[in-house]
Chains A and B, each alone.
Chain A
Amino acid sequence: MTLRLKILVIDDEPAIRRLLRGSLGHEGYDVIEAGDARAGLAAVSIDKPDAVLLDLGLPDRDGMELVPLVKAAGAALLVVSARDTTEEKVAALDLGADDYVTKPFDTHEVLARIRAALRARRQQGSEDSIVGFGEVEVDLAARRITRRGVEVHLTPKEYGFLAELCRHPGRVVSHAQLLRAVWGQGHENDVEYLRVAARGVRRKLEDVDVERSAIRNEPGVGYRLIA
């Protein structure tokens, strides 16, 4: 008997909760629902959900305030909101959200993001040292990259950029997080470094057009590795 994963949906719109209940249920998750922040926080501490889908526009509190609280409880967190400014997305990610989906959303995309977030949560601690995408394999422990079995040499910054994405496969990693991890404090605004690194990695590891690249650009927010 497999343990069914529990997912908490915090949203004040019954229609959205109904929609997500159906889709998530089909996928084999247990769904818990909460209509406001108070009920949501109670469910987080009582039911210990594995993942939380959080709407930011709640009637009693701003959903943004719940982000660190939910993260502290150890659940994977996906923000689902109608707010679509890059500032809000970056803020939610910086507070600890695993991903951000704007309404109106595609249900399949939400499901894929949940899977990625849950996988990342499972892998916490026991870091999976080998990540593969396309024809490429990245061995994080050995700092070794092969393409079709042939070792490829990347510059240290290109490797750092790719490695940081590989540590969070399928999830969006914000510009600031990437820049901090590779270039260190004080370079959080040097987005052009990332553009150059992304060009280098794609040139050396992929033959495909940019729109089919596994290293996907999230405009204004960050990068995501489609593993």
Chain B
Amino acid sequence: MSPARPDPDALLRTAARASTGRLKVFLGAAPGVGKTYEMLSDAAARRAGGLDVVVGVVETHGRSETQAQLAGFEIMPRARIAHRGQPLEEMDLDAILNRHPALVLVDEFAHTNAPGSRHDKRWQDVEELLAAGIDVWTTLNIQHVESLNDVVASFTHVRVRETVPDRLLDNAEIEVVDLPPDELIARLKAGKVYVPHEAARALDHFFSKSNLSALRELALRRAAQAVDAQMLDDLRASATGGSWAVGERLLVAVGANPVASEVVRAGKRLADALRAPWTAVHIETTGERSGPAAAHLAQAMQLATQLGGQVLTLSGPSVVDGLADAAADTRATLLVIGRPQPRRWPWQRRLHARPLARRLPGLSLHLVQTSHAEAAGHGLRPPMPGIPAGLVPSFLATALVTALGQAIFARGNNITNVGLLYLLPVLFAATRYGLATGILTGLVASLAYNFCFIPPTGTFTIADPQNIITVGVLLLVAAVASQLAARLRAQALLAARSARQSAALAGFARTLTGMARPEALGDVLCAEAARLLDVRAVLLLGSADDLSILATTAPETPLAALDLAAARWSVDKGQPAGRGSSTLTACEWLFTPLMAGGATLGTLGVARGDGALPVRSDQLPLLGSLVDQAALALQRIRLEQEAADVRTLEERDRLRAALLSSVSHDLRTPLTAVLGSLRTLEPRDEEQRELLGVARAEADRLQRFVANLLDMVRIEAGAIALSIEPVDLAEAVASAVHDLRRALGTQPLRIDIAPDLPLALVDPRLFHHCLINLIENAARHGGEGPIAIVAARRGDGLDLMVIDAGPGLPPGSEARVFETFTRLEGSDRKGGTGLGLAIVRGFCKAMQLDAIAANRNDGPGACFTIRFPPDRLRQPSEPE
């Protein structure tokens, strides 16, 4: 690796910091250290310096010093949100976005918004403000930092639910508002610290000196860590040197248990310390999870996303196999696993660690000691084994075998054979109902065997040691068979489910390939999503500002305004929105954007009739696949349509070109014959001379009209093919005047074009036609006075003006003269076609020049200007 190569990721992060708004966090160890006060006084200094500062939301909690600091600030009114008839006040995000100040003050970073707000959390509001390029200052207590949540709770015994993801702090400027614990306690005693009502009882403990010291240390350390991370980014971006560790990668194993979130947080802290990327992985081994376990898992995975980790779910025959695969896939160097919570069985203790160490020798293992208190705190006890299923049929089978055995035994057979018979109910119970039932059946069977057959019969005494082995074997068979069967069953379940999904997706993909219309695709997508996920589905296409429903399975339920807002959000940001996402969660639908080729084509909404979460977390990949495939198919349909449109256009262009060429030939040929014949005729007397003169003049006019008509058709059809080359304006004007010499007759003409002007970059033929039309127009409407053709520099550009000495343009009609077939009232023009100036404008536009009509300001007459911007000019280089 070259030491001077900047790290692209670091460059991107630095660039993102530069283009979006900057976040500054006033971080405190505990309530009451004076964060809000500090923020306001700093902001007041900035405001005095001329910065545009507004207060988005600030809680003074009735403190008079803070209240006094607010004076002089522009305070944004809060939005009122009605929730169950109760009006709640929240920061008005949209008002601030519209107001767009340079800096906005937003107190209490970790605040949870009232239900019905756009975002669940205030930090999400802040993210949107930052994305809009607005700087934000905010306040935060250290206990609300997500990754420190456990740590703080461990010694304060106060757990806060409102947390802020660490990644927000990583890019923020952090100012620690520090107050020694003694002073804080003094302030508390003086009643200067606002304490939320519900926290009052925990107060004495929380504000102990040892707690406050620990919190203070945490705050200072977290701030130092953020500074460190930013410095490292800058260092990497500029590659100024130094060395940094390469490539630690963490894999955090997440189980479906109450300590999952704790393991995720521990993994995040470790990853931060190592400055390593990390992935939270869950290995799915059996069928669907029951309620609480699935909830723990979903919560942990969401937490991992919020903490900035990658999230991965894999299916595998066992946790160990799955983790091994995941470690190989992610090229992990360190695996973080939690010690299982209260052990139920002694062998579960080393469940993953030892086999994993064997499977992946290069992988370091990090065991997280999770707290039992955590589980207790969630009000959970270790699951009690309930009454195993299938006991009745299993015991009946045992009874049947006993009866059968009696019959066989009565015929004088060896009791060992009867012992073998007992394997049948045990295998039946173990394979069909699992381990517990199998073991119980094994016990019952061995007891029955002992009681009925082993001498002495009728007692539970065993005389022959050989028979003890038989009992042991029965139990062992039960254990092994049930394990094998359970694993097989789980595998079969998984395989069947994934086969079902694969088949559904394959069928879906096949259907999509044949689609030619977006409407048909929308119907199929909605129907398929509704069938596979058991939901109502709606597909909206278009941009965020212009969404329309393409297909729906629930036409009877229109989308509410909030639902539409979520749909627009998901299209605009390219992220899921609505119920089950982290944005606009109050609405009924979950919207997933259709992305293809970097663009968002639309969004698929799903909702359940009963108001439950539309999609379970284990169904999200399926929904993602559906949406991805539909997006690709939709893009393919669009591209095909575009290609077809282009073909149609090309065909039309070809026809038009052929028609133009044929028309121009058919019009010009007879004109040539007429004009040529008229010129060769010799008049015999004065009358004939006069008539011949009229005929020649009219034929000339007809010829010009035809030429203009053809040019106009080309402009209207957009069929102008440009061939740009540098043109000497003096030469171009000379050519035009030469071609018009006969039409101009004796009209005086003055040409004033300096020989050292830059060359004009134009299409010579189009420019020639422009000049001819302008000069002809001046000759026709400019009376008998002289026509001047003048080129003048205008800044770095150039004006070429054709000036006549006629009556000029009627006031107010200057712009109108360029319109097709405009003949101005009151002008004594004759013989014009009304096309010439329209052609001038059309050709000039094609060549990116401006055509301007005005009256002279130095006397009567009109002045038509072709304006060359600097990029249409070229100073000729010496041709040596």
Chain A contact residues, CB within 8 Å of chain B? 13, 15-16, 18-20, 22-23, 26, 57, 82-87, 103-108, 155, 157, 183, 190-199, 202-203, 209-211, 213, 216-220
Q: Give the distance to chain B from A127, nearest Cβ to Cβ, in Å.
A: 26
Bound complex: CA A83 to CA B661 (Å): 8
Q: Which residues of B contact A157 (CB under 8 A)?
A: 879-880
Q: Which of A183, A211, A217 contacts B728 (CB 8 A)?
A: A217
Q: Which of A107, A196, A217 contacts B676 (CB 8 A)?
A: A107
List 30 interface pairs A-B (beta carbons < 8 Å), by A numbering.
A13-B669, A13-B673, A15-B670, A16-B676, A18-B673, A19-B677, A22-B680, A23-B680, A57-B665, A82-B664, A82-B672, A84-B765, A86-B764, A104-B675, A104-B676, A105-B676, A192-B726, A192-B876, A193-B879, A195-B876, A196-B877, A196-B878, A199-B728, A209-B751, A210-B733, A211-B737, A217-B735, A220-B763, A220-B764, A220-B765
Residue pair B671, A104 in contact (C-beta under 8 Å) = yes
Residue pair B738, A216 in contact (C-beta under 8 Å) = yes
5 more A-B residue pairs beyond the given contacts A157-B879, A195-B726, with a C-beta to C-beta distance below 8 A: A104-B675, A198-B728, A211-B734, A219-B764, A220-B768
Bound complex: CA A213 to CA B672 (Å): 28
Given contacts A104-B703, A157-B879, A198-B731, contact A219 B759 (CB under 8 A): no
**B874: interface (CB < 8 Å):** yes
Instruction: Report whether over half of chain A's contact residues are helix, strand or loop; otherwise say mixed.
Output: helix
Instruction: Name which residue of chain B comes closest to A213, CB basis.
Output: B734
Q: Which residues of B contact A191 (CB under 8 A)?
A: 725-726
Q: Which residues of B contact A106 (CB under 8 A)?
A: 675, 679
Which of B703, B733, B735, B767: most chain A CB closer than 10 A? B735
Residue pair A210, B673 in contact (C-beta under 8 Å) = no
Which 5 A/B pairs are nearest by Cβ-Cβ distance?
A193-B879, A220-B764, A15-B673, A211-B734, A217-B731
Q: Which residues of B contact A19 (CB under 8 A)?
A: 672-673, 676-677, 680
Residue pair A195, B751 in contact (C-beta under 8 Å) = no
Q: Which residues of B contact A193 (CB under 8 A)?
A: 876, 879
Which of A13, A87, A108, A209: most chain B CB closer than 10 A? A209
List residues 753-778 of chain B with CB under 8 A from any CB of chain A: 753, 755, 759, 763-765, 767-768
Bound complex: CA A11 to CA B589 (Å): 76
Q: Which residues of B contact A15 (CB under 8 A)?
A: 669-670, 673
Given contacts A195-B876, A211-B733, A211-B738, contact A82 B726 (CB under 8 A): no
Residue pair A16, B734 in contact (C-beta under 8 Å) = no
Per-residue A-contact encoding for B733-747, CB less than 8 Å = 1, 0 else? 111011000000000
Q: Which residues of A contact B763 (CB under 8 A)?
A: 220
Q: Which residues of A contact B755 (CB under 8 A)?
A: 199, 202-203
Bound complex: CA A108 to CA B877 (Å): 39
Q: Which residues of B contact A220 (CB under 8 A)?
A: 723, 725, 763-765, 768
Bound complex: CA A166 to CA B734 (Å): 21
**B668: interface (CB < 8 Å):** yes
**B730: interface (CB < 8 Å):** yes
Q: Give the distance to chain A from B667, nearest Cβ to Cβ, in Å.
A: 8
Residue pair A219, B767 in contact (C-beta under 8 Å) = yes
**B57: interface (CB < 8 Å):** no
Residue pair B879, A183 in contact (C-beta under 8 Å) = yes
Residue pair A217, B734 in contact (C-beta under 8 Å) = yes
Residue pair B728, A195 in contact (C-beta under 8 Å) = yes
**B732: interface (CB < 8 Å):** yes
Q: Which residues of A contact B669 (CB under 8 A)?
A: 13, 15-16, 82, 103
Given contacts A15-B670, A19-B673, A107-B679, contact A216 B876 (CB under 8 A): no
Residue pair B732, A219 in contact (C-beta under 8 Å) = yes
Q: Give the distance to chain A from B735, nearest Cβ to Cβ, in Å.
A: 5
Q: Give the distance to chain B from A202, nearest Cβ to Cβ, in Å.
A: 8
Q: Which residues of A contact B661 (CB under 8 A)?
A: 83
Bound complex: CA A108 to CA B737 (Å): 18
Instruction: Name which residue of chain A comes closest to B728, CB basis.
Output: A195
Bound complex: CA A211 to CA B732 (Å): 9
Instruction: Name which residue of chain B comes closest to A179, CB basis.
Output: B879
Given contacts A157-B879, A196-B878, A219-B768, contact A86 B680 (CB under 8 A): no
Given contacts A199-B728, A216-B735, A216-B738, contact A103 B668 (CB under 8 A): yes
Given contacts A82-B665, A211-B738, contact A195 B765 (CB under 8 A): no
Instruction: Name which residue of chain A comes closest to B673, CB basis.
Output: A15
Residue pair B676, A211 in contact (C-beta under 8 Å) = no
Q: Which residues of A contact B728 (CB under 8 A)?
A: 195, 198-199, 217
Instruction: Name which residue of chain A comes closest to B751, CB basis.
Output: A209
Q: Give the distance to chain B from A177, nearest Cβ to Cβ, in Å.
A: 15
Bound complex: CA A26 to CA B767 (Å): 37
Q: Which residues of A contact B880 (CB under 8 A)?
A: 155, 157
Q: Which residues of A contact B730 (CB under 8 A)?
A: 210
Instruction: Name which residue of chain B comes closest to A211, CB basis.
Output: B734
Residue pair A86, B765 in contact (C-beta under 8 Å) = yes
Which of B763, B767, B876: most chain A CB closer than 10 A? B876
Q: Which residues of B contact A190 (CB under 8 A)?
A: 879
Instruction: Name which residue of chain B comes closest to A160, CB basis.
Output: B879
Q: Which residues of B contact A85 (CB under 8 A)?
A: 765
Which of A19, A197, A198: most chain B CB closer than 10 A? A19
Bound complex: CA A117 to CA B454 (Å): 133
Residue pair A197, B726 in contact (C-beta under 8 Å) = no
Q: Give the distance to chain A from B726, nearest Cβ to Cβ, in Å.
A: 4
Q: Give the distance to chain B from A54, nearest Cβ to Cβ, in Å.
A: 14
Bound complex: CA A219 to CA B733 (Å): 10
Given contacts A192-B759, A210-B734, contact A23 B668 (CB under 8 A): no
Instruction: Name which residue of chain B comes closest to A110, CB basis.
Output: B676
List residues 765-800 of chain B with CB under 8 A from any CB of chain A: 765, 767-768
Instruction: Name which residue of chain A comes closest to B879, CB basis.
Output: A193
Bound complex: CA A26 to CA B676 (Å): 14
Bound complex: CA A192 to CA B877 (Å): 8
Instruction: Name which residue of chain A comes closest to B757, CB basis.
Output: A199
List residues 640-687 of chain B with CB under 8 A from any CB of chain A: 661, 664-665, 668-673, 675-677, 679-680
Q: Which of A107, A192, A195 contacts B680 (CB 8 A)?
A: A107
Per-residue A-contact encoding for B832-876, CB less than 8 Å = 1, 0 else? 000000000000000000000000000000000000000000101
Q: Which residues of B contact A217 (CB under 8 A)?
A: 728, 731-732, 734-735
Which of A86, A105, A157, A211: most chain B CB closer than 10 A? A211
Instruction: Name which residue of chain B comes closest to A200, CB basis.
Output: B879
Residue pair A211, B751 in contact (C-beta under 8 Å) = yes
Instruction: Name which residue of chain B comes closest to A11, CB basis.
Output: B669
Q: Give the distance to chain B from A145, nearest Cβ to Cβ, in Å.
A: 18
Q: Which residues of B contact A213 (CB under 8 A)?
A: 734
List residues 220-250 of chain B with CB under 8 A from any CB of chain A: none
Which of B675, B680, B728: most chain A CB closer than 10 A? B728
Bound complex: CA A198 to CA B874 (Å): 16
Q: Which residues of B contact A82 (CB under 8 A)?
A: 664-665, 668-669, 672
Q: Which residues of B contact A104 (CB under 8 A)?
A: 668, 671-672, 675-676, 703
Residue pair B723, A87 in contact (C-beta under 8 Å) = yes
Bound complex: CA A192 to CA B758 (Å): 10
Q: Give the distance to chain A from B132, nearest Cβ to Cβ, in Å.
A: 49
Residue pair B731, A23 in contact (C-beta under 8 Å) = no
Q: Which residues of B contact A192 (CB under 8 A)?
A: 726, 759, 874, 876-877, 879
Instruction: Name which residue of chain B comes closest to A196, CB basis.
Output: B876
Instruction: Name which residue of chain A comes closest to B741, CB basis.
Output: A211
Q: Which of A83, A103, A105, A210 contacts B731 (CB 8 A)?
A: A210
List residues 409-458 of chain B with CB under 8 A from any CB of chain A: none
Instruction: Name which residue of chain B comes closest to A202, CB basis.
Output: B755
Which of B676, B737, B880: most chain A CB closer than 10 A? B676
Q: Which residues of A contact B737 (CB under 8 A)?
A: 211
Bound complex: CA A199 to CA B877 (Å): 13
Q: Which residues of A contact B759 (CB under 8 A)?
A: 192, 195
Bound complex: CA A69 to CA B418 (Å): 113
Q: Give the distance to chain A from B769, nearest Cβ to Cβ, in Å.
A: 9
Q: Which residues of B contact A197 (CB under 8 A)?
A: 879
Instruction: Name which residue of chain A comes closest to B670, CB basis.
Output: A15
Instruction: Name which residue of chain B comes closest to A15, CB basis.
Output: B673
